[in-house]
Structure 1
Amino acid sequence: MKATRILKRLPLHLLVITLAVIWLAPSLGLLVSSFRPRQDLLSSGWWTALVTPSYWSQFTLDNYRDVLTSQGMGRAFLNSFIITVPTTLLTLAIAALAAYALAWMNFRGRQLLLMTVIGLIVIPLQMTLIPVLRMFNVLKLSGTFPGIWLAHAGYGLPLMIYLLRNFFGALPRELFESAFIDGATPFRAFVKLVLPLSVPVLASAGIFQFLWVWNDLLVALVYLGGFEEVAPLTLKLSLLVGSRGQDWHLLTAAAFISMIVPMIVFLSLQRYFVRGILAGAVKG
């Protein structure tokens, strides 16, 4: 009986394994290529290094050493952290407070404000680049970390507020009624009730915001394009492609450096991500 079930599921398992291999093949090829010398990379495909033992002794860390030192990717790597972490924390803090107010606090114009937030989600950020850039130039925020923090937070807030508001609104009303009867203020109810119950959805929202900011090129190019000392990885990598387009061995190392952090963040917080996506999907 057990063997029959295994045989019935075998095609599905093979399909899943095949899709996983296809999905991982580009990342694997990028990783293998980043350790190969330039002449090997240009003379043969990355898969030959896996099946030919003679290539294994030629693997080197020189590509990473060159990229992180002489190419300036080390500073760009640090800049990406300086940009992404504060932006994510700032966006989550503001979005959580705004979502709580829109979900559980009664004030005039609440529905109109909620409709405005929803409407802002569909506005292309490209329409705001020039007006915001002019404002940043007047306020001397162009080419600064606070400026890019505010830009990324502003672009990410509408969606984050909408997602968190939907989750907060699904929490049992009895919890808040009991807290208010015991004398809790709205802010204390937010800190003691809403935040502990919302860890999965906050983690999911944080992952979305972190990955978007880390992988962003357009916003960084507009607000930080002429300031190399604060340029993030994506901007530095785009410049590297333009100036060193023939040096594939350097590009593969730089590209893998830029993607390793999002992979670690997603895999380490995957359980919270799945729980957050499913949160509120079933009520009962």
Structure 2
Amino acid sequence: MDLGLSGRKAIVCASSRGLGRGCAEALAEAGCDLVINGLDRLRLDKTASEIRSRYGVTVTPVVANVSTQEGQEALLAACPQPDILINNNGGPPRRDYRELDREAMIDGVIQNMVSPIEMIQKVADGMAERGFGRIVNITSITVRMPLEGLDLSSGARAGLTAFLAGVCRTYAGRNVTINNLLPGKMDTDRLRGGIERAAGLSGRSADDIGRAQQAEIPAGRFGTAEEFGQICAFYCSQHAAYVTGQNILIDGGLYPAAF
């Protein structure tokens, strides 16, 4: 399927690995020129080189923390008029809510709510003026199905979702869409780290815990960054112009509800 994205310009935040990289790869395959982002220069440069070589598109790596104004300005300096924005950022580490002090809570809200809103503030009006824009926020299944220890991440991402529910509709008539992708248990470093942590606390092996978690998923497996990226690319495409303000679960059926 031709997604109608050839020659479009995309900023993909936190994209040197994991789900962000999956999105970057899929957009590159569709013909987008990319600005990718991360904190580790060596990993980011390697990712940029591999995507550039594989797909023949322009890939500009920007080492920056998207949670800071300086980081956001660096991304927009590299791509002043993006057609696509993929908001992604690491979440706060798993922690009992009693352990969260004010500073930790503020940092979590900045990471997973304030920063994506700030990026949207900076790009959405320009997209509307040019008559095309696709904004995808990578949030989490925990927006709908909270998990113990991820309360701060869940709350911040839920706040982002509610904040943008009205904002997205002000842009719908100008071919700018804002949607959220809610990953479940995806085969990423974050998931593997959680499994290792659980193994250390329980005395069980990481393989045993991983198999048990997969057994809870109706699809019987963890998701991949590649398939996640392809779904992201579709919601950035010309074919998804009539979809906005939606929360799309990518979870193998883990969330047990009809609505």
TM-score class normalised by the smaller sequence: under 0.3
Highest CA radius of gyration, 1 or 2?
1
> What is the TM-score with the length of structure 2 in the denominator?
0.27
Q: Which has the higher helix share?
A: 1
Tell which has more relative contact order, 1 or 2 (C-alpha 8 A, sep 6+).
1
